[in-house]
Structure 1
Amino acid sequence: MNLPFFIAKRYLFSKKKQNIINIISWISMAGIVVGTMAIIIIVSVLNGFTDLIGVFYSDFDPDIKISSVEGKMFDPNTIDIEQIKALPDVVSYAEVVEEVALLRYGKRQFAATIKGVPDNYPDYTNIDKLLIEGEYYLKKDGIDYAVVGRGIANNLGVGVSFLDPLHVYVPKKGKQVSLNPSRAFNHGYLFPSAVFAVLEDVDAKYMLVSKAFATELFDSEDDISAIELAIADGADVDALQEKLEEIVGAGFHVKNKEQQHYLVFKTMKSEKWAVYFILVFILLLASGNMIGNLTMLYIDKKEDIAILGSMGLPTEQINRIFLYEGWLISLAGGVLGTILGVFVCWLQNTFGLIKLPGAGGSFVISAYPVHIIFTDIILAFAAVLIIGFIASWYPVKFISNKQLAPSNIA
C-alpha cells in the first residue's frame, strides 16, 4: 500500500479542524474546474470559426490549384495536361484567367480582380450556394455577364436589375504611345447577372466572368493564370499533391484549399495558441490558492505529522502526503472541468444556446460554432496536471525546508 497516497486521500475528503481549510480546498478545485472548462470551450469555439471560414473558402475555391512560381500567367502546354486529367482522383479540370482591372459604373470606380472561369466552374465549386441575388450565368443571348462580389457591388452601387452596363478597363500589353490615353487600355462591358457573398476579403476582390471574355480583355491568348482541380471524395490530398508536383515540376505551386489561404489559416491557428497560453497562464494564477491550501493543511495536521515522524516515517514520505494532496485536487478539478467543458460544447453544438450578436438570421449561422478536437482536450488536461504539480511542489518544498526539520517535528 502507498501510505502517503492513502493518507492524502483521507485528508482530501475528511473534515478539517478549521472549516476555512475546506473552503480554500473547494475554491482551489473550483478555480481549476473553471480554468479547464474555459480552455476547452474557448479553444473549441475558435476551432469552430476556423472550420466555418474553411467552409466558406471551400465553396468558392477549388480543391487543388496549380499556378506558376514566376510570373502571373503561363502556357498550359508546358506541362503534361493529359497526365493530370488521367489521374483517378481528379474529377474536374479547369483553366482560369485572373488579373486586376479597373471597374467603372456611372461615376464610381473600383479596382478588382477579374476571374475568367470555364463553363464547368459551378461543377467543382458551390458558387450557387453563395449567391445572394440573381442567377449564375456568364453568357446569355450573345451578351457577356458577370457574377459580382458583394463588396464590389456595394462599392460601385450596382445591382442585377440595373440597365446600365459595367465597364472594365485594363492596360494594353506592351508600350502604347498615343495622344489619346483611352487607346492605352483594353475596354469591355458586361451586365451583372448575380451577386455572391463569401467573406469580406473575397467579396471585395473578385468578379467572375467567362474565360473567353477575360482572355480577350487581357490579351492572354493561350496563357492562363492557374489550373483548378476538383478531386474525388475521400481522396488522399497529400498523396495527390505529391503526384501533381512530380508532373508539373519545380516551376509550379500545387496548393490545397488551406494552402491557398495560408496566411488566414496561419493567423487563426496563431490566435488559437495565443488564447490557449493566455488561459493556461490564468489557470496558473488561479492555482496559486493551492499554496495557501497546502500550507494551512500542514498547520491543521501538524500533530498527525509529528506522530508519523515519531513512528519513523521519513520526511520524504511526509512530503509526498501534501504533494499527493495537491495532485488529487488538480486531478479532480481537471477531470470535472474537462467533462463539464465537453458537455457545454455539446450543448452549444446541439441546441445553439449562445447566439451570435447581431446575426438576426442574415448570417449563415445564428449561434457560436463549436468543434471539439481530441488533442485540444489532451493538451488542456496535460496543462492542468503540470500546473497542479508545480502548484503542489512549491509549497511542499517550502514546508520540507522550513517546517519539517527534526526540531520542528519534535
Structure 2
Amino acid sequence: MNTEFWISKRYLRSTRKQRFLPLMTFVSIAGISIGIIALITILSVMRGGNEVLEKKLMGLNAHVTIVDEGNSDDLTADKIHSLIPEYVKNISHFIQGETIARSKTGDEVVATGIRVKGVSEEDIKNLRDVEFYFAEDSSLNSLSPSDKSSLSGIILGDELLSQLNVHPDFGDKIDLIAPLAQVGPTGELEPIARTYKLIGSFRSGFYEYDSRVAFVSFREGEKLLGLQGMRGWQITLNDPYKIKKVVEILKQSLGSDLRIESWDRENRKLFAALKLERWAMGIVLFLIVLIASFSIIGLVMMLVFDKKKDVAILRTIGMNIKDVRKIFLLYSVQIGAVGSILGGILGSILCFVLMIRPIKLPGAYYLDTLPVKWSFFWSLVFVLLGVFVAALSSLYPVSQSTNEDLVVTLRYE
C-alpha cells in the first residue's frame, strides 16, 4: 500500500470526527449508488422489453422474405431451396395487400383499413408465440372450406374484433374491398369486393399486428387482391443467426427484380426508434450520477480546506505537489468506488429479484410480466462509469489543494 493511498484512506475514515464531512460523504455515496441502481435496473427492463419484442416479431415474420416486384413466375420454392439447402427449414408462397374491412351490425356499418395476408394453413400453424381462438364450429381448415357454397374463412387480429364490433362466436361476416385490384372495361383499375366468414382471431402481443392484420388462404388472397397484391416467398431458417449470410447468397444468385430482406431489416424503423429511446433514457439516468458528483466537488473542497495544514506539513517534509494532489484524487475515487460498487450490487440484486418474482402487468401492456434482461457487461460498465465521474468531478478541488502558502499555513503551528 503506497503512502498516498494510505493517507487518503485515513482521511475517508477520519471524517467521522468532523461535523459536516460524514454527512456529505454519505450523501455522495448514496447519490452515486441510486444513480447506478437506476441505470442498471431501468436499462435491464428496457433490454428485456426489446428481447420480448424481437421474439414476437420473429414469431410473426419469416426470417427472410423475397418479394417478386416484377410478378414473375420463374421463381419457385425448389429454385430457392437449391441455393440454400443447408439453411432452409420451410419455404412458402404468400400474397399481401391493403384492403378496406367492413362489417354490419344492425343498421350500423363499421369500416377500417387492414392488411390482408394470404398464406397456407401450414404457415399459420408455424407462427410462434401467437395465440389463436376459433369458433366452436370452425378450425384452421375453415379458411378453405371443401363445400364450394360456403364462404371462405378469415382470421382477424384480436384488436380488430372490437374495432369492427364482431366476434367468431357470433357467426359474423366481413366484407373486404381491394380498391385497385382489377382492370375494368374502361381500362381503369377497379375494386374487388368479397365476403368472408369470421372463423377465428389471433393475439400476437404486438399491437401493430393485432389491430391491422388479417389472414386468408393463399388462393383467396389472389382472388381478392388481384393486381394490387404483393407476391413473394417467405423463408424460415434452421438457424436464425445465419440470416445475413443467407440474404447475401440470395442477392448474389437471384435477379434485381426481387427484393430480399431479413425480418429485422423490414422492422428497422422500429428498432432504430427503440435504440434511440434506450440512449435517451441512459442519458437521463446518467444525469442522476452527474448530479451526485456535484456533492463530491463540495466534499473534496471541504476536505482540502480542513486538511490544508496536513498538506503544508507533507510538502515541507518533501512530498511533491503531484503526490499531494494524488491523495485527494484517490479520496474521491474511493467514494465513487464505494457508491458505484454498492449501486452495482443492489441494482443487480433488484434485477435478479424481478427475474425470479416478476411484476405482473395489466393486459393493456401486451405483456404478462415486467421483462428484465440483466447483463454483467453493462453492469460493470455502469460501475466503472460511476468511478470515472467521481474522479472527474474532483479535478478542480484537487488542483486547488496545493495553492496555499506554506509559510502562512504553518506560521502558528
Distance between the aligned counterparts of 2:222 and 2:386, measured in 1?
A: 59
Pair 1:105–1:231, CA change in 2 (3 A)? same
Residue equivalent to 1:114: 116
The residue type equivalent to 2:309 in the other structure is: E
**Is 1:24 aligned with 2:32?**
no
- 1:79 touches 1:248 (CA, 8 Å); kept in 2? no
* Root mean square deviation of aligned Cα: 2.6
The equivalent position to 2:103 in structure 1, one of 102, 105, 109, is 105
- 2:182 touches 2:227 (CA, 8 Å); kept in 1? no
Aligned length: 396
Map 1:266-305 onto structure 2 (within 5 A): 266-305=272-311
- 1:177 touches 1:184 (CA, 8 Å); kept in 2? no
Distance between the aligned counterparts of 1:316 and 1:408, measured in 2?
A: 21
Distance between the aligned counterparts of 1:248 and 1:283, measured in 2?
A: 53
The residue type equivalent to 1:97 in the other structure is: I
Where in structure 1 are there 5+ consecutive unaligned residues?
none
Pair 1:79–1:195, CA change in 2 (3 A)? closer
Distance between the aligned counterparts of 1:98 and 1:79, measured in 2?
A: 18
* Per-residue deviation, 1:33: 0.8
* Per-residue deviation, 1:405: 4.3
* Per-residue deviation, 1:381: 2.4
Distance between the aligned counterparts of 1:209 and 1:329, measured in 2?
A: 64
After TM superposition, the structure 1 stretch with the greater mean CA deviation from structure 2, 42-51 or 149-158, is: 149-158
- 2:102 touches 2:176 (CA, 8 Å); kept in 1? yes
Give the secondary-structure state (helix, strand or coil) at the position aligned to 1:173: strand
Residue equivalent to 2:183: 174
The equivalent position to 2:71 in structure 1, one of 70, 74, 78, is 74
* Per-residue deviation, 1:292: 1.2
The equivalent position to 2:144 in structure 1, one of 110, 114, 139, is 139
Give the secondary-structure state (helix, strand or coil) at the position aligned to 1:225: strand
Pair 1:287–1:146, CA change in 2 (3 A)? same
Residue equivalent to 2:169: 161
Pair 1:408–1:188, CA change in 2 (3 A)? farther
- 1:305 touches 1:409 (CA, 8 Å); kept in 2? no
Map 1:7-406 onto structure 2 (within 5 A): 7-67=7-67, 71=69, 74-78=71-75, 82-84=79-81, 86-106=84-104, 107-126=109-128, 129-134=130-135, 135-137=139-141, 138-142=143-147, 143=150, 144-170=152-178, 171-174=180-183, 176-177=185-186, 184-198=190-204, 199-220=206-227, 225-233=231-239, 236-352=242-358, 354-356=359-361, 358-359=362-363, 365-400=367-402, 403-406=403-406
- 2:15 touches 2:21 (CA, 8 Å); kept in 1? no
Distance between the aligned counterparts of 1:120 and 1:35, measured in 2?
A: 50
Give the secondary-structure state (helix, strand or coil) at the position aligned to 1:309: helix
User: For each residue in 1:283-321, what CA deviation from the matched residue of structure 2 results, as whole angstroms up to 9, or x when unmatched?
Assistant: 101111101111111233223222211111111211110
Distance between the aligned counterparts of 1:118 and 1:282, measured in 2?
A: 53
4+ runs deviating over 6 angstroms: none
- 2:4 touches 2:323 (CA, 8 Å); kept in 1? yes
Distance between the aligned counterparts of 1:65 and 1:314, measured in 2?
A: 69
Where in structure 2 are there 5+ consecutive unaligned residues?
none
* Per-residue deviation, 1:224: 5.2
TM-score scaled by length of structure 2: 0.87
* Per-residue deviation, 1:333: 1.3
Distance between the aligned counterparts of 2:305 and 2:290, measured in 1?
A: 24
User: For each residue in 1:332-382, what CA deviation from the matched residue of structure 2 results, as whole angstroms up to 9, or x when unmatched?
Assistant: 211111111111000000011x443x34xx876443110123442243223
* Per-residue deviation, 1:151: 2.5
* Per-residue deviation, 1:407: 4.8
Give the secondary-structure state (helix, strand or coil) at the position aligned to 1:219: helix
Give the secondary-structure state (helix, strand or coil) at the position aligned to 1:141: coil
TM-score scaled by length of structure 1: 0.88
